[in-house]
Chain A
Amino acid sequence: MASSISLPRAESTNPLLNALRIVPGILLLAGIGYAGKILEHSVNAYAKSHHWTFPNIEYVLWAILIGLIISNILAIPKIFQPGIATYEFWLKLGIVLLGTRFVLADVLKLGGISLRLVVIEITLSLALMTLLGRLFKLKPKLTSLLAIGSAVCGVSAIIAAKGAIDADDEDSSFAIAAILALGALSLFTFPAIAHGLHMTDVSYGLWAGLGVDNTAEATAAGALYSDAAGKVAVLAKTARNAMIGFVVLGYALYWSGRGQAEAITNKAAFLWKKFPKFVLGFLLMSLLVGFHAFSKGQVASLGNLSKWAFLLTFAGVGLRTNLRDTSKQGLRPFIVGALGEVLIACLTLGLVVGANRIWGL
């Protein structure tokens, strides 16, 4: 999980030893990701040579499935854990490099639309989750964590908010487990629904970016539909991530006002601390491409490097999803999360359909 990310965490005073600790897990991520890529080509070639009508299963899904099988059927030896935990680093690296595949005008146009939708989505999601939490009589801080996780950006938002609102470890674990389990479900439900509705790549990408909570799952859910949808999903999700500081600050002020969290002395510093800096890297890359800092071939190379980084991320998404751990968590937070997620998915789908009519996506 995000809380155990370490790159390179200083467990020992020897930096070389620390670097070596993450190597086995990174090799496992790369192996699973590459196996997914090989499977995509092999299965498609086999189906084609035998004249079968077989759906094109992309490497994204193969990598996630292999990871899920390994983490849920086999026990992953401890030696791999530090390296597996780097999947979030690869995700952020992939997002920064993906900036090269966007023309700045597209970022401004789609990003602008995304931001407007994000503000509506966050406002309605926070209100909805708070209402559900009260209806199901969840603890107030657990409700806050679930609301932040569902409205903004999943696990990372929950971890960022945990310290700010002084929530219990147990509440955080509940909220994280619910968000992760629901994120795993969305990987399969979002593309299926979108295919049924014949959504365009841009519309679906926006929906995945707005409706799927965790950045890794949103990226994967987008890429499962198409490469173009994956790009838009990352852009929409990045716009959503940019709002994390404002939402967490709002909750921190609310709880400190009630004397149940530390007071915020410097709001600007708080916002900067919580702001996801990789968003700036994404914009910088797009800007550099806009100023022709790279040739066409170099842009293609950077785009491919981004894909390799995502390959490791998708393997990590499967590996860190442990269904047994999830089932051990409480039922009520899960029901609240699930109900909320279904309603948020419907709400964001409605937003995207509305945006499509207004802006013709």
Chain B
Amino acid sequence: MLSYLANPQRFMGFSAWAAPLFAVLAFVLFAVGLPWALFYSPADYQQGETVRIMYVHVPAAWWAMGVYAFMGGASFVGLVWRHVLADIAARAAAPVGAVFAGVCLVTGSLWGAPTWGTWWEWDGRLTSMLALFIIYLGYLALWSAVEDEEKAARLAAILCLVGLINLPIIKFSVDWWSTLHQPASIMRSGGSAIDPSMMGPLLTMAGAFLALFGALTLYNMRAAIFRRRVEAAELRGAGA
């Protein structure tokens, strides 16, 4: 499948129908997930209504890391096999991942204030997530700073691969260090500790974030391919 789509012509054919499909899927999942999370899911017996922040905070955190892992895979392919489409995919995903990481940090702060009594704490989980956000910004800045796109792609791929080390640090920070942040309650040995009535809206919102990521990344990739075509045509025109 991936090698089939590695051809830009085939990718444009695939993304022409896949991007709007993901967009519609994201819209439907948000239309279901947002009211479910805000009004139809129960309040927590300890956290009260603040638990509803979980339905945006947790998917944003999951996919901020998931998008970065995707970028890591694409960067590896771009670096090893010098595949332009892989570089385009990594770059196209980065702004979406950066927004997810930013949303995770802000909503986490808004959740921390009433539950922990503080907006911020320099502990392992919060600091490593802030580091991920900064790595995203650095990655995007690097792409913009280097004019030669081939060189920019190589440097950005190396930065992205080095930054992958942060993902296990984020995941296991709550086990390795003393922290205000709660330990893993869904992806943990022994099964999920979350009540099923809260799992439905959480997974729906996680699906909505994922579908939105798919749509935005595909549209971003299409824009990048169109831009390269336009610039190549302009160069040919200038040379003629």
Does chain A bind chain B? no
Chain A positions near chain B (C-beta within 8 angstroms): none
